[in-house]
Structures are given as structure tokens and as C-alpha cells.
Amino acid sequence: MTRNEQQRYRFSEAPIWELQRTYFEEQGMKAWENDQVPQYITSNPMIATAYAEMIFGFLQDRAGLGHTSEPVTILELGAGAGRLAFHVLQKLVELRDYAGISLPPFRYVMSDLAFKNITSWQQNPGLHPFVEQGLLDFARFDAVHDTELKLTEANISVRSGELQQPLLIIANYFFDSIPQELVYIDEGKIYECEVSLHFPNDTEGVEPENRLETVIPEYHYVRATAYEEETYPYHDLMALYQEKLEDAHILFPVVGLTCLERLSGLSQSGFLLLTADKGDHRLANWEFAEPPQLIHHGSFSLTANYHALQFVFEQKGALSLFTTHHYKDLNVGSILMLQSPMHYANTRLAYRRFIDRFGPDDFFSMKEWIDQHFDSMGLQQILAFWRLGRYDAELFIQSAERISDLLQDASDEEMLDIQSGIHLMWNGHYAMEQSYDLALDCGLLLFEMDRFEDARLFLERSLSANEEEPLSTVLFSLAICNYELGAEAAALEYTHKALVLEPGHEEALELLAALNE
């Protein structure tokens, strides 16, 4: 049984948006635990590498235009768990150091609505080195209202017109989660879709995510001639929709557009946008569009109207780049709202090489298939995909058991690839609070390969992280590692500790006897 909310709201002003806001402010980092809110598809090392290549190309283009003295500000909107920022910065620094060419300096700013997230970033040890080098700062930013950036670490505010370089904006899973208008177009007429909300009777006072999961929207159509007037800021776009679309529900990103316009005002030189979302830039795909459904995942999201963003800024002289082939889960695009955007050849080439030719959506489609077929894959194929995924920890965790099964037939070269890959993965891993014990998997696999020195290193890391609940398996493996490396005192200590936890451990008893001899 449901209770009808009698009040009808403009879609962008409906209570669902306040519930969404409250959810993220209350949950903080917990929103991303166990992928309650999806983040992997837009935060993995593969998409971060693509973005780093585009940013690097942009820095090259700015240097080529003679702008090397002022820093480039890279602003990530809705930085969430912080994983994308970590990977982008790591890859970008690698590119900068490897190239060894003259580039403008850069500063990455992670922003979000929730203060809890900023506090978590400030406390994350993986981000500390970037902060200490002056490469990373944080800001609370409200996409609906804010007109400036207040940087927490530098303790400065970036206001209108203060940036000399173009602002580089990253917005993943952003435009689908902020307030939007909803209009209906049919027979050349525009209607506003007002919404009334239906909740079960027992949801009063429950958590925002639980209310969002149960809400049922009902739409009401009201003739809206204001969109058709020439004074409407986006009149040309609406006129195009009137002409081209029939029986179409259009999510209209007024908040997203005005947010980009406000951010553009911070710089004297425009902006470059990098964005990934389940969004559509093809006009034909909006024809006969059904009323939107709220996609629930702790919070909720919609389909981003990339066509509107593309059209509005192209009218102002921008160049937009969106995938030329069919995309399944993720549309990755770029808008160059810059003077003479065709002069940015390195930026455009990076998009072509790392996104359009084979990009994050292609990678994720392959990963979904591989997730179901690890058990039938050979070691060479697993290692090749791990390299393609830039030694992502998630891929390693999923395949570690299969790799272990295949070790008996592995060549020395393949074992060396596994060993070096583990170190590359560890150095590029972004640890989160609920993180899996990655060090344990690494240590046990290296132990199976008789790489005792490296195995000891990772098993000690695992033991340090789980001091209150040590595992006899870890303690005994450490005893063997130390024994093989000639550290007999440490081997004896770990053997005793293993036997305290498991007095009947036969192999530990045999090792103890050997050590006592």
C-alpha cells in the first residue's frame, strides 16, 4: 500500500534531490564500500591512464603555445572515493618524469559536496605524497550554487578570472547525479514534466538510501511555452528538439550547463572537460525516449544528456569529442571550450589513441566477460589482460587462485612477470578502508613461487595489518621464508607463534625440530 504525495514538483526541485544530497553527506566514504555506489568502471587504472594521457597532451599543447609559467588547475568534480585522482596523478607524474620536457606545472584539486569525504582524503596515506609535493589540493564544491574554489591545503580561494591557464575539469558519474529538468516534446510542443512522489507508508524517518530505493515517481505534463521563447538561454537547443524529436522525454541538464559556465568563468582561457557517464550525445537516441527511471545504487542516477552539453558549447566555439562507435556502459567524452581548439593536436590525438580507438568502455566490456572465464584462461592470457588493466589490484584478486593453479607449468619468465607485476600493482594500489588483504594474496603467491625474500616482505605487511588476529598460515609461511633466507632466529620465533595458534601443526613441528637441531 502506498501513500500519495499530493504535491507536484518541478523535476529539478523534487525532494529526491535533497535525499540524494543528504545520503552523500551522511555516508561519506561509506557510500563506496563494497561498491554500494559504483566506482570501479570510472576509477580503475585503465581509465585513469587514458585521462593522464589526455592531460599530458594538453600540457604539451599549452607548452607549444608558449604558456609554461602559470600552473594548470585540474578540478575533479564529485571525486568520491578518491581512487581516480590517485591513479591519474600517479600516471601523470610518470609521464612527466619519463618525457623530461618543458611543461607547465599542474595542480590537481579533488572536490565534492560532502565534508566527510574531504576529511577522508586528507587522512589517506596514499594521497599524502602528492599533497606534500604541491600537486594535490582539496575543495568542497556545490555544483548547484558555488562560484569559487576554496582550497583547503593552500588556504586560498580561486575566484572569477583568476586562472591564467584554461581550467581542466574531470566529471565522472557527475552529470547523471545532479538536479535536472525534465521536459516532454511531442508534435512540436514542449511540456514540463512535473513529478509527484509515492512512498510506502512505513518509510517516514528511515535512512535516505532506503527511501530512495522505494520511491515511485509519477509524471504530470504541463504546457511550458517559456522554453520556446527566444529569451530562454538555451532557445536554439530547444528549437532543435522541437523540430527533430517526437514523443520524447528529455532530461535537460540546466544545473550541469550553468555549473560548467560558472567554472569557465574562473579562467581567462576557457576549459577542457573530460567526462564519463552512462550518457548519450546522439540526438537520434533521445527520440521516443521513455520517462526516466531512477537507477538505484545507494543513491540514484539518471542518463546524462551529453547532446545538450555538446550542442550548447559547440555553439560557443567548442570542439567536442565523443566515442564514434557504439558504447555499452560508459560514454567517455571531451569538450574543448578553448580558443582555437584545433591547435590542441596532442590533446585530440590522446583522445583518439586512448579512448576512441580502444577505451574504458571496451576494457570494461572485456572485463565483464573475463570475470566469468578466469577458470578457463591460461597464464599468458591472464597476464596480458593484467597488463592491459595497468596491473589493477581487482584483476589480481580475481585471478590469484587461478594463477596459483597454473604455477606448476609456468616458465621462469612468466614467474618473473608475476613477481614484477605484483610490485607494480602494489606501488599503484589505492587502499580504502574496507580493502581486501592484498598483501596476503601477494605474499602467498610469491611463497608458492619460492620468491622467499619478496614473499617475506608482503607477508610481514599482511601480519602488520592484522596483528590482533594473525593467521597460522601466515606465521608458518614467514617461518619458512626466514629459514630459507638464513634468518634462523626469526624462523624459530615465527614457528613458535604458529604453534601457539595451532599446536598440532605438523609441518611447523617438523620445522621446529630441524631448527632445534
Using the predicted structure, report yes or no on whether residue 78 has a pLDDT greater than 80: yes
Euclidean distance between CA atoms 147 and 131, whole angstroms: 24
Higher local confidence (pLDDT), 31 or 481: 481
Q: How many CB atoms lie within 10 A of CB 169?
A: 22
Using the Cα atoms of residue 182, residue 12, residue 320 and residue 351 in order, give the sign of their dihedral: negative
CA distances from 117 to 30, 140, 174 (A): 10, 9, 16
Query: What is the average pLDDT value for the chain, to the nearest integer?
Result: 91
Euclidean distance between CA atoms 24 and 38, whole angstroms: 13
Torsion, CA 270, CA 311, CA 361, CA 212, rounded to 10: 100
CATH of domain 38-178+255-284+294-361: 3.40.50.150
Using the predicted structure, report yes or no on whether residue 267 has a pLDDT greater than 70: yes
Q: Write out the three cell numbers for 408.
A: 606448476
Euclidean distance between CA atoms 55 and 74, whole angstroms: 9
| DSSP structure string for 345-360 | HHHHHHHIIIIISS-H
| Domain locations in the chain as residue ranges | 8-19+180-252, 38-178+255-284+294-361, 365-515
pLDDT of residue 20: 80
Percent of the residues in the chain that have a pLDDT greater than 70, as a whole number: 93
Would 38-178+255-284+294-361 and 365-515 be classified into the same CATH topology? no
Using the predicted structure, report yes or no on whether residue 1 has a pLDDT greater than 80: no
Q: Write out the three cell numbers for 350.
A: 590522446
Higher local confidence (pLDDT), 35 or 348: 348
Euclidean distance between CA atoms 212 and 322, whole angstroms: 31
pLDDT digits (tens, 9 = 90+) for 323-359: 888 888 899 999 999 999 999 999 999 999 999 999 9
201 pLDDT band, cuts 50/70/90, is: low
Number of helical H runs and strand E runs in the chain:
19, 19
pLDDT digits (tens, 9 = 90+) for 224-254: 999 999 999 999 999 999 999 999 999 999 9
pLDDT digits (tens, 9 = 90+) for 110-122: 999 988 899 999 9
In degrees and rounded to multiples of 5, residue 482 shows phi and psi of -65, -35
| CATH 1.10.3470.10 assigned to 365-515 | no
Structure letter (DSSP) for residue 14: S
